[in-house]
A and B are shown apart, each in its own frame.
Chain A
Amino acid sequence: MLENIFLKTLRDQLVSIFWWSAGFIFLSIYLSYFFPYMSENTAIFKMVDSLPPVIKNLIGDVKFVSTPEGFFNLQPFSYFAPIMILFYSVSRGVGVIAGELENGTLDLLLSKPVSRSGVILQKVLSISLALAIIHIFFFLGMGLGLILFKIEMNIIRLADAIISVFMLSISFLTISVTAGIIFLNKKKAVGLVSGFALISFLINAYAPAVNSFQIARIFSPFYYNSGNSPILNGLDLSHLLIQTFIAVFFLAVSILFFKKRDLYS
């Protein structure tokens, strides 16, 4: 697997892909095991109903939690899955160029007949494939959980929700690549993207309760992941297109920026 940058990047991720996939399978089965207890526990519904509206908005409509779609929409699709997968996207994304530079290997790589845009494209495609593999195992894990604990739900809606999380991870991947190229420093880039992720997550989460966040919500990539609740309503094509646009836009920006960038030793 050392024929090109794409395969070398994939090879470097093999161990991570295994553990992340295993982690998502475990999470899926754990939540599926937990669902029957949640759906039968009326005390929790009463407790949630008594919380302030802002907190209730963060949790979601409590009556849905008793259904598989509502439960899984809350967990893992609104919190665990997107936040966890962002760790992967951001750490890998900032490392595409800033990581090679900090390791001191970028000089050797660019001294070979590969274009700067080729380096970014091959690495981003390889990390995207890794993310796709992890999401496929996430889907399989969810499916296994449904079978093991005899939970009935629409499998297409489940796939919609996972595709939406996958697109969110790709958006943050290309945002992270761009940040890594701008700063040429992994720590600074991770700081910036994590800060942006946290703020945009909170804006999206609190938007239903805070009027001034309503407009700001459209600038949050999380809105295009969970705003339409794909597990309940299916994929929103306009959201999917915007997620694709974010990914392509930041990929183009990162390539243009990298082409102009001076690379110091």
Chain B
Amino acid sequence: MTSPVIRIENLSKYYGKHRGIEDVSFEVERGEIFGYLGPNGAGKTTTIRIMLGFLHSYGGNVNIFDRNIKKNLLTILSRTGYLPGELSLYGNLKVAEFLEYFSNLNKKTEQILIRDLLDRFRCEPDKKISSLSTGNKQKVGIIQAVMNDPDLVILDEPTRGLDPLMRQEFYDLLRELKNKGRTILLSSHVLTEVEKVCDSAAIVRDGKIVTVEDIHSLRTKNYKILEITSKGPLDRRKIRPLKNITGLEFMGNMMKCHLHGDIDPLLKAIGKNYIINIESSSPGLEEVFIKFYGERHA
């Protein structure tokens, strides 16, 4: 059995008296897209910054590619791509110049790959970075993270500022990297995003790992908030017994519930009633935490 690409053991970091992370442990296997999920300020970025050598840990170990980061940082970085959560680029450079510079620092140039990525994300190489919108800067940031075909890609809130079309393109790119055997650590505070692309995820809250789960079990724990409005009264006797519905409320010809899993049983229970509108929304990460991990972690 091959050893994991990332192995983090009992990692802790304090900022003076303030907690950064405490006793964080998880592993990421080769070819895995691993979600690192948690609300803002939970400790996701702190963990990543220790992994990249920006911060010194208070205790614990970080091994990447089976090497300790304290002793082999540069070797590890030469095989790693990174997109920071708060991305800033050199505004005085053109897109192509910026990518050329960072490609040179990687000491590994993949010009064909860079051209493909520029086309794919519809980036204009001759544009000055200072003239780009936030979304376009984010695309340049994504390209620089993957342009040298790294074995490990660490992405901190990567879809910030991306439009839905580019977000989909980004998810496709992640799947392609996974198929090539690359390992991806994706930090996010958006549960639906992690569900969409990750194989497994660690959930971090208040600096501690709450759970590490495969995405299937996480998906069953997640739910959608549905509001259904019908023309006539809904048949409550048929809807109430459904096992994948919680938080059910009826208000005249309208019902509100939390849907776990597929919608088909609910639609069948509604039967031939004329549906005027279905509104679906995702709960915030905080709500999911409180609902599934209880007050213990809330």
Contact = CB atoms under 8 A, between A and B. Distances in A.
Interface string B75-99: 1011010101111111011000100
B92 A12 contact: yes
B186 to A, nearest CB: 16
A262 B58 CA distance: 11
A2 B84 CA distance: 22
Interface stretch (A53-61, A108-116, A184-192, A201-209): A108-116
Nearest to B154: A111
A115 B77 CA distance: 10
Contacts of B75: 113
Contacts of B106: 112-113
A2 B90 CA distance: 12
A114 B105 contact: yes
Contacts of B82: 107-108, 111
A111 B104 contact: no
A133 B177 CA distance: 47
Contact of A2 (B15, B86, B88, B100): B100
Interface in A56-114: 103-105, 107-114
A105 B89 contact: yes
Contacts of A109: 105
B229 interface: no
A265 B97 CA distance: 24
Given A111-B52, A111-B82, A263-B49, A103 B88 contact: yes
Interface residues of B, number: 32
A125 interface: no
Nearest to B100: A2
Contacts of A113: 74-75, 77-78, 105-107
A15 to B, nearest CB: 10
A149 B53 CA distance: 59
A264 B89 CA distance: 17
A263 B92 contact: no
B47 interface: no
Given A115-B74, A265-B85, A2 B52 contact: no
30 contacts: A2-B100, A2-B101, A3-B104, A103-B90, A104-B86, A105-B88, A105-B89, A105-B90, A107-B54, A107-B82, A107-B84, A108-B84, A108-B88, A108-B144, A109-B105, A111-B52, A111-B82, A112-B102, A112-B105, A113-B75, A113-B78, A113-B105, A113-B106, A113-B107, A262-B55, A263-B49, A263-B54, A264-B15, A264-B55, A265-B85
Interface of A: 2-5, 8, 12, 103-105, 107-115, 260, 262-265
